[in-house]
Amino acid sequence: MKGISPEEQSAARRAYLAVVVALSLSILAGLSLAVVYWSGGQAQLEGVLLAVSLLGIGVGTVIWAKRFLPNEEAEEARKPVGSTAEDVSDFSAEVDRGEEAIGSRRLLVGLISGGLGALGLAMVFPIRSLGPRPGRGLSRTGMADGRRLVNAEHEPVRPDDIPLAGVLTVWPEGHEEEADSSALLIRVEDASLFREPVVLPWTVGPVVAYSKLCTHTGCPVGLYEADEHLLLCPCHQSTFEVLAGARPVFGPATRALPQLPLGIDEQGFLVARGDFEGPVSAGFWNRSR
Amino acid sequence: MSKKRGRVARTGAWVDDRLGLAKVARTTLRKVFPDHWSFLLGEVALYSFVVLLLTGVYLTFFFDPSQAETVYEGSYAALHGVEMTRAYRSAVELSFDVRAGLVMRQMHHWAAVVFVAAMVVHLARVFFTGAFRRPRELNWMVGVTLLLLGIGNGFTGYSLLDDQLSGTGLRIAYSIVLSIPVIGSWITSLLFGGEFPGPDIIVRFYVLHILLVPAMIIGLLVMHLSLLVHQKHTQFTGPGRREDNVVGERIWPTYAVKASGLFFLTTGTLAALGGLAQINPIWIYGPFEPSEVSAASQPDWYVGWLEGALRVMPAWEVRAFGFELPNPFFAGVLLPSLTFGLLYLWPFIEARRTKDRSVHHLLDRPRDRPMRTALGVATLAFYSVLFIAGGSDVLATEFGLSVNQLIWSVRLALFVVPVIAGAVAHRLCRDLAARDAEPPHDPPDPPADGDGPDAVAGTDPVAEGEPEEERELAWPPPASVLRTGPPSPRPLPP
């Protein structure tokens, strides 16, 4: 440190001090972290102490490198990445030499290719074990003729259990665990409000039922705006008009929520009169087949 | 001191006797690395990944990737007696009952957020400076793959916890995969082990998340860095910097110390976030219940553009001959395929467009390539608008707007904003380049307008030979500029 001005000297001293402080803080934080952990742990403290111990080392080393380590510019030649023409031709000559030796037994080459090919093919088949063939399951749910509809507490429901101008989520009895079987019962003010394409014989008085799964990406359509009779999907904001067969009126959904045929059994409980009118949830290639 | 030195030397000699690495090691220590703040972005991604590995290993000791039903009895009272899967339960226990568990989990999540963010910013740096040009096209593609894997592993990661939010995300992912023509239902069945929610999805995502994808990331990272060392880093133009040299700092000691300093700064920041900034509080979301969903479900930021695309997509789909191409296909399959397809191909697209197929080790300044810069800015603007659309419901509630109006504004903005942003960027590039070109009329000297390192780096008369034309770059640039530096940038060794 010869031949430098007093300002630079004091700046260097301050930088040195900063490194000392940073590294000392790091040591302190590291030790405190051990104590905190030992005495039961506390998430915020752990994070802060770990941060101080790491940042202390980081700040210290960076200042150290910037101020006290040689910062001289160096230069290095950049050789071309590609090989020389000679190396390339030597290489291909080497490959050719081996290839000729191997290729002289054509039948064997053919057989080994066949063997590896067959092995490769055989290795593909275990993938099939990963899951069942996608079949009718995508189009069918647990709803069936005569099956009672039950609420989240597994109790059957009567039309009066649905709050006026409200909704109730139900499942087919005994199939409550099936993700695609949930339906929404909606009770409107008056049965005369329903219009096309609501299937009127499938309603029970002012109660209509639709699949709860959005036809866009299958999120549960959980929000009901009673004033406008609109069902809203909270995921991508598709909106369905309850009075008009739950047809989509806004958002990315293209299909109406499939309606569920509703009925009443002898004890006055709501039952399904069959499966939903079409496949529920998101669309797929051969949905209509 | 000398005694200690003797011991180090003896150990070194023992190792070298068996491995013979002294020469290679010395070359490595003396390696020159060009210095620029923007070259550190990739390093931040790398260090975040190291944090992901370290914290991730800790989490695997406590997490139970099982969908078996159980009842919670841990120390978080609000969930007492609630039925849930063992996956969710172990994640909650890990947060409340395992010492340092919450800090580790939150650091892990924050590191994932920063990992992808740093990769995106690094990618933007490489794009805007033209560092993807020959001979680095392959490394660009390796980098794009790393970004893809990083996003994928982020998604599988937060899907493991089986809380309400992750279940909703899985449900949407299921529907997106289901929308793939012809084989969609097969893929979902094989991936999920059946119909949604599928009995096996969590254990499968777990294997992907902690083994397969990280192994791929590590392999590709090694490739990424080996290629970087092998091809040597690019550098900005400046006095004495040419196509056939590298000017910068030697690895040992300064650069190595600085880099380890940056490692500690990155990990320290992540620790602070992990301790102080709550992320993904799954105990508030509750266990996944397929028939429920909370409003304002938001994915991690790097999935936001897809979420936005799903939301703004108009209600179109294709139906013909009894088959259909469902609506989520366009936003969920087509858009990301196009995005990453174009990213992979960009080096070749640009080379074809500019007819510039020569070797480039000197970086462009964004202003010197106004067309590329404008295109990049427009692209970023497009995805930013999609990202904003991903939070449309939150924005609508926050600012008292109707979701309806907001979605229509976003649809419009998707076309308008990128055009405006691109035009502004183009104009700005032209103006900046013109300002740089004004004062000096004696080409042999670097510009004297004292605009900091940027201005000095702007031109390299020695290397380019034609600095005036370099500044007036049109698209496609005149052939004289496309030629790289000295007549023979790749002199063959004798």
Percent of chain A, pLDDT > 90?
84
Of B32, B296, B492, the CB nearest to A84: B492
Provide the shortest C-alpha distance from residue A187 to chain B (in Å): 19
Q: Which residue on chain A is closest to B183 by alpha carbon?
A: A285
A244-248, B26-30, B413-417, range with the lowest pLDDT = B26-30
Where do the structural domains in chain B lie, given as residue ranges?
Answer: 1-30, 35-294
> In angstroms, what separates the C-alpha of B431 from chain A's closest C-alpha?
32
Closest-CA residue to B473 (of B442, B441, B433, B435): B433
Cβ contacts of B178 on chain A, cutoff 8 Å: 282-284
Interface test with B, best of A32, A81, A257 (most B CBs within 10 A): A81
pLDDT level of residue B490 (50, 70, 90 thresholds): very low
| Chain B residues with beta carbon closer than 8 angstroms to that of A55 | 264-265, 268-269, 272
Chain B partners within 8 Å of A237 (Cβ): 311, 392-393, 403, 407
Q: Average pLDDT of chain A?
A: 93
CB contact under 8 A, A219 and B107: no
The angle formed by the CA atoms of residues B316, B322 and B328, to the nearest 5 degrees, is 30
Band of pLDDT at residue B6, cut at 50, 70 and 90: confident
Give me the pLDDT at residue A111, please. Answer: 96
Give the pLDDT of residue B396.
87
In this predicted model, what pLDDT tens digit does every residue of B440-450 receive, in sequence order? Answer: 655 544 444 44
Taking an 8 Å cut-off on Cβ atoms, the answer to whether A46 and B100 are in contact is yes
pLDDT exceeds cutoff 60 at A231: yes
**In angstroms, rounded to a whole number, what is the distance separating the alpha carbons of residues A258 and A280?**
6
| Contact (CB<8Å) B313/A43 | no
Q: Is B249 helix (H, G, I), strand (E, B) or coil?
A: strand
Write out pLDDT tens, residues B236-273: 999 999 999 999 999 999 999 999 999 999 999 999 99
Query: Is residue B275 within 8 Å of residue A45, measured between CB atoms?
Result: yes
When pLDDT is cut at 50, 70 and 90, the band that residue B360 belongs to is very high
Interface of A with B in 76-95 (CB under 8 A): 76-82, 84-85
Residue B384 has pLDDT above 70, yes or no: yes
pLDDT tens per residue, range B295-327: 667 899 999 999 999 999 999 999 999 899 999
Tell me the average pLDDT across B188-203. 91
What pLDDT is stored for residue A137 in this prediction? 80
Does the B35-294 domain belong in CATH 3.30.70.330? no
Rounded to the nearest integer, the mean pLDDT of chain B is 88
| Candidates A61, A137, A282; nearest CB to B328 | A282
State the average pLDDT over residues B108-121.
Answer: 98
Chain B residues with CB inside 8 Å of A76's CB? 31-32, 232, 245-247
C-alpha span between A131 and B414 (Å, rounded): 40
Q: What are the C-alpha distances in Å from B473 to residues A34, B238, B275, B441?
A: 60, 18, 49, 18
- Predicted local confidence at residue A104, as pLDDT: 87
Tell me what the mean pLDDT of segment B376-401 comes to: 92
**Residues near B428 by beta carbon (within 8 Å), at least 6 away in sequence:** B367
Nearest residue in B to A70, CA atom = B254
φ, ψ dihedrals at B394, nearest 5°? -65, -45
Residue A73 to residue B248, Cβ atoms within 8 A: yes
**HSE of B273, CA atoms in CB hemisphere, 13 A:** 20
CB contact under 8 A, A179 and B291: yes
CB within 8 Å: B171 and A218: yes
Tokens at A113, concatenated: 């290719």
DSSP E strand boundaries for B87-183: none
Does the distance separating the beta carbons of B262 and A220 come in below 8 Å? no
Task: Give mean pLDDT, residues B178-195.
Answer: 94
B254/B158 Cα distance (integer angstroms) = 39
Please say if the pLDDT value at position B10 is more than 70: yes
Minimum mean pLDDT among A86-100, A194-208, B471-485: which range? B471-485
Residue B157 has pLDDT above 90, yes or no: yes
User: Across the interface, which of B249, B262, B393 has its CB nearest the CB of A74?
Assistant: B249
Residues 97-126 of A with CB under 8 A from B: none
Contact: B99, A82; criterion CB under 8 Å: no
- pLDDT band at residue B348 using 50, 70 and 90 as cut-offs: very high
**What pLDDT is attached to residue B476?**
42
- Counting residues of chain A whose pLDDT is more than 70, the rounded percentage is 99
* Predicted pLDDT at A2: 55
**B61 three-state secondary structure:** coil
Q: Which residues contact B302 (CB under 8 A, 6 or more apart)?
A: B113, B116, B117, B120, B150, B151, B154
A62/B193 CB distance under 8 A: no
Asked if the Cβ–Cβ distance from A75 to B361 is below 8 Å, we say no
Reply yes or no on whether the pLDDT at B277 is more than 50: yes
Percent residues over pLDDT 70 in chain B = 87
Please name the residue of chain B whose CA is at the shortest distance from the CA of residue A223. Answer: B295
Q: Indicate whether this complex's ipTM tops 0.85.
A: yes
Contact B172 A218 (CB under 8 A): yes
- What pLDDT sits at residue B292? 85
| pLDDT tens-digit series, residues A13-33 | 999 999 999 999 999 999 999
pLDDT in tens, A110-167: 999 999 999 999 999 999 999 999 877 888 999 999 999 999 999 999 999 999 889 9
